[in-house]
Amino acid sequence: MAEPPKPDAGPSTPDGRILEYLVCPVTRGPLQYDAARKELISRSARLAYPIRDGIPIMVPEEARNLDDAPQRRRADD
């Protein structure tokens, strides 16, 4: 008997076209995509915005401060 299809977990990275239009909500400056950490980096704000299930979380309170020690990944990521 064939296995039922697995639900699509969705993309793990955002669509490249949308990244062209996103800016840091704090500085309105450009963002750089860090594929290894799945983050959008704002060098001017010194913040790293997480990407969860392919969706950039552009909330400053959710961002990791680049000046802090590396943060451990959340269990649900």
41 inside domain: yes
Q: Residue 23: how many CA atoms within 13 Å on its side-chain side? A: 6
CA distances (Å), 61 to each of 2, 27, 47, 73, in order?
Answer: 45, 14, 10, 16
22 inside domain: no
* Each residue's pLDDT expressed in tens, for the chain with a length of 77 residues: 555 544 444 455 666 678 889 999 999 999 999 999 999 999 999 999 999 998 999 999 999 999 986 655 555 54
* Neighbour count for residue 51 (Cβ, 10 Å): 23
Number of domains within the chain: 1
Tokens of residue 42, six digits? 């704002």
Residue 74 has a pLDDT of 54
Q: Which domain holds residue 52?
A: 31-69
Torsion of Cα atoms, 8 then 13 then 16 then 20, to 10°: 130
59 inside domain: yes
Residue 69 has a pLDDT of 61
